[in-house]
Amino acid sequence: MILTVNGDRIVSDAGTVEELLSELKIEPARVAVEVNLTVIKKAAYATFRLNDGDAVEIVNFVGGG
């Protein structure tokens, strides 16, 4: 399927948010994910289904001081 991830179109075999993060080698605990302008709860990453054409935003948490 084709997804738009952080503004870039990609081809992905991922069926869920969790699978997409794994495919992109992103640690789920360190990011927030939004699909089609809806924030997805971390508890739902494994079950939230992605669809062809979805727009996904992945935001990394950065600490500092």
Q: Model confidence over 3-53: pLDDT tens digits?
A: 999 999 999 999 999 999 999 999 999 999 999 999 999 999 999 999 999
> Which residues are registered as beta bridge partners of 56?
5, 35
CATH number at residue 21: 3.10.20.30
Asked, for residue 38, whether it belongs to a domain, the answer is yes
Return the ∠ at Cα 37 (arms to 36 and 42), rounded to 5°.
90
Domain count, the chain: 1
Separation CA 65–CA 23 (nearest Å): 31
By residue range, what is the domain housing residue 28?
2-60
Distance between CA atoms of 30 and 19, rounded to whole angstroms? 15
pLDDT band at 62 (very low <50, low <70, confident <90, very high): confident
Asked whether residue 9 is assigned to any structural domain, the reply reads: yes
Residue 6: partners with Cβ closer than 8 Å, 6 or more residues away: 56, 57, 58
Residue 65 lies in a domain: no
Query: What is d(CA 10, CA 27) in angstroms, rounded to the nearest whole number?
Result: 19
